[in-house]
Amino acid sequence: MDMANAIDTLPNTASGMRDSFGRRIDYLRISVTDRCDLRCRYCMDEIMQFLPKREILTLEEIAIIAERFIARGVRRIRLSGGEPLVRRDFADLAYALGRHVKSGALDELTLTTNGTQLARHAEMLVEAGMRRINVSLDALDPAIFAHVTRGGELAKVLEGLEAAREAGLKVKINTVALRGVNEDQVLPLLDYCELRGFDLTLIETMPLGEIEGQRSDQFLPLIEAIAPIRERHELTPLQERTGGPARYFALSGLNARLGLITPLSHNFCADCNRMRLTCQGRIYMCLGHEDHVDLKAAFRENGVAGIDSLLDRALAAKPKAHDFSVAQGAAPSTRRHMSVTGG
């Protein structure tokens, strides 16, 4: 596949995008596939119905649409999913978008991955222009890891992480805190990160899509999850942000930084700068709402010319905040899983 010519200079209208609450929107997350080789219990149901192939955008289409978003003022793009590295020819998309980091049109291109295929992609990611990636890892104990992911092999992810480090990628580990499942993994994960020069971010589980069991049983507020860390280290808030929702802390005696993503216990919507493009060609302006704008048909009919007005409509409709609840018996905020929208 040759995308090199598919993406030519577009008129730049990068005065920037703002939503109706005045928030600057310059961060795009793209879910390049809803498919995945794992079935994490907080993310997916055991049996999942994935989108038929004919409904998903080609990688060329994703690149061209992303280009238009860049021309409108997007400065950062994160590729996510589903598992982005299971999409065939993923490298073509990484190279196509990486060109814009090299040209200065984008500040950053990053990836969120479960790491199972990272060993064979790590060098390509660097070559394409990525400097840092997020890797999801909820446990260092192989049995707990296999339980959370419903059969995942920890060794593959650890191998992928080593490859990423050797390739020179800056790595942040993402860990979803789950009550009764991985509380005792938090300190080992922190030690693992410290030894390798990685950062660690803990995430509260969000009520997205139906899963087996109750979210309320899984939910572990981060204030509880970090209790063992606080027994060992003093936490000092850092001003630094990386464009996402995490708040960062320095830890006394360690180089590793700790990020906390607390959508439930501390809502971060006031400074949300994000929008999301799914592999189905929809723009979602909020992870926690069903409202979306469908770009695919307009794009296929009118090319990039069809994108701008829909993008404006999406901006105007961005909600002020999500209204997540993990109270016992509460319905999920959305029917779609995080893997559809891109985490």
Binding site for ligand SF4 (CB under 6 A): 36, 38-40, 43-44, 81-83, 114, 136, 339
Min dist. Cβ of residue 16 to ligand SF4 (A): 31
Residue that has been written with the tokens 């439930």 in this structure = 264
Which region holds residue 76: left if phi is over 0, alpha if psi is between -120 and 50, else beta?
beta
Minimum distance of ligand SF4 from residue 47's CB (angstroms): 13
Q: Does 114 bind ligand SAM (CB under 6 A)?
A: yes
> Contacts with ligand SAM in 78-107 (CB under 6 A)?
80-81, 83
How is residue 110 written in tokens? 């990053």
Cβ closest to ligand SF4, residue 151 vs residue 237:
151
Smallest distance, ligand SF4 to C-beta of residue 136, A: 6
CB of 39 to ligand SF4, least distance (A): 5
* Residue 139 contacts ligand SAM per CB under 6 A: no
Residue 308 in contact with residue 299, Cβ under 8 Å?
A: no
Tokens of 39: 């079935």
* Closest of 339, 327, 341 to residue 288, by C-alpha: 341
Tell whether residue 338 is a contact of ligand SAM (CB under 6 A). yes
Q: Does 119 bind ligand SAM (CB under 6 A)?
A: no
Q: Closest separation between CB of residue 46 and ligand SAM, Å?
A: 14
Question: At its nearest, how many Å lie between ligand SF4 and the CB of residue 205?
Answer: 11
- The site for ligand SAM, by CB under 6 A, has a size of 19
Q: Is 218 in the site for ligand SAM (CB under 6 A)?
A: no
Tell which one of 245, 288, 306, 343 touches ligand SAM (CB under 6 A): 343
Q: Is residue 304 a contact partner of residue 93, using CB atoms and an 8 Å limit?
A: no
Residue 57, binding choice from ligand SAM, ligand SF4, none, Cβ under 5 to 8 Å by partner class: none
Q: Identify which range of 21-29, 198-206, 246-254, 281-289 contacts ligand SAM by CB under 6 A.
A: 198-206
Positive or negative: CA dihedral 26, 29, 32, 34: negative
Contact positions with ligand SAM (CB under 6 A) in 23-52: 36, 42-43
Interface stretch with ligand SAM, choices 120-128, 140-148, 202-210, 274-282 (CB under 6 A): 202-210
Q: Which is nearer to ligand SF4, 38 or 279 (CB)?
A: 38
For residue 70, the tally of other CB atoms under 10 A from its CB is 23
Tokens in use for 325? Answer: 């609840």
Residue 129 or 342 having the CB closest to ligand SF4: 342
Residue 273 touches ligand SAM, criterion: CB under 6 A: no
Nearest distance, CB of residue 150 and ligand SAM, angstroms: 13
Contacts of 181 (CB under 8 A, 6+ apart): 138, 139, 144, 147, 148, 218
Q: Which long-range contacts (CB under 8 A, 24 or more apart) does 213-217 make?
A: 213/41, 214/328, 214/329, 215/42, 215/326, 215/330, 215/332, 216/326, 216/327, 216/328, 216/329, 216/330, 217/179, 217/180
Structure-block tokens of residue 187: 């300190």
Q: Please give the full DSSP string across 209-228, using - where no structure is assigned.
A: S--SS-HHHHB--HHHHTHH
Q: Binding partner of residue 39 among ligand SAM, ligand SF4, none, CB under 5 to 8 Å per kind?
A: ligand SF4
Spatial strand order in the sheet of 274-277: 235-237, 247-251, 257-261, 199-204, 170-177, 132-136, 108-113, 76-80, 27-31, 274-277, 282-284, 292-294
Residues in the site for ligand SAM, rule: CB under 6 A? 36, 42-43, 80-81, 83, 112-114, 136, 174, 176, 203, 205-206, 208, 338-339, 343
